[in-house]
Structure 1
Amino acid sequence: MTDTLAEPRPVVSAAPVPRSAARWAATGGVVAGPLFLAVGLVQGFTRDGFDFTRNAISQLALGAAGWIQTASFVLTGALLIAGAAGLRRVLRGGPGGTWGPVLVGVFGASFWVAAAFPADAGAGFPVGAPETPVMSGHGAVHMFGGMVGYLALCAAFFVLARPLAARGRHGWAVASRIVPVAVLVGFTASAASVLAFTAGAGLGLLWLSAATARLAEARADR
Structure 2
Amino acid sequence: MTTTAAVTPEIRANRVTRSLLGYGVLAGPLYVGVSVAQALTRDGFDITRHAWSLLSNGSLGWLQITNFILTGLMVVAAGVGLARAGGRWTGRLVGVFGLSMVAAGVLRADPAQGFPAGTPDGVGEVTWHGVGHLVAGAIGFLCVAVAAWLSPVLKLYSRLSGTVFLLAFAGIASGAASPLLVLGFVAGVVVIFTWLAVVSIRWYRGLSGQ
TM-score tier (shorter):
0.7 to 0.9
Alignment of structure 1 residues 69-148 onto 2, 5 Å = 69-91=64-86, 96=87, 98-134=88-124, 135-148=126-139
Please give the alpha-carbon distance, in whole angstroms, between the structure 2 residues aligned to 1:219 and 1:155: 24
Please say which structure displays the higher CA radius of gyration. 1
Check if 1:178 corresponds to 2:163: no
Please give the alpha-carbon distance, in whole angstroms, between the structure 1 residues aligned to 2:65 and 2:191: 21
Q: CA deviation at 1:153?
A: 0.3
Q: CA deviation at 1:100?
A: 1.5
Hey, what does 2:145 align to over in structure 1?
154
Q: CA deviation at 1:202?
A: 2.4
Check if 1:52 corresponds to 2:34: no
> Structure 1: where are the runs of 5+ without partners?
1-12, 165-171
> Structure 2: where are the runs of 5+ without partners?
1-7
* TM score, norm. by length of structure 1: 0.81
Percent identity, aligned pairs only, is 35
Please give the alpha-carbon distance, in whole angstroms, between the structure 2 residues aligned to 1:118 and 1:196: 23
Hey, what does 2:21 align to over in structure 1?
26
Q: CA deviation at 1:188?
A: 2.1
- Give the direction of change, closer, same or farther, for the CA distance of 1:19–1:145 in structure 2 (3 Å limit): closer
Larger deviation: 47-56 or 133-142? Answer: 133-142
Tell me the matched-pair count. 196
Please give the alpha-carbon distance, in whole angstroms, between the structure 2 residues aligned to 1:197 and 1:132: 19
Question: Which residue type is aligned with residue 112 of structure 1?
Answer: V
Deviations 1:21-47 (A, max 9, x none): 443231111111111000001111111
Cα RMSD over matched residues? 1.9
* Contact 2:100–2:140, Cα closer than 8 Å, also in 1: yes
* TM score, norm. by length of structure 2: 0.86
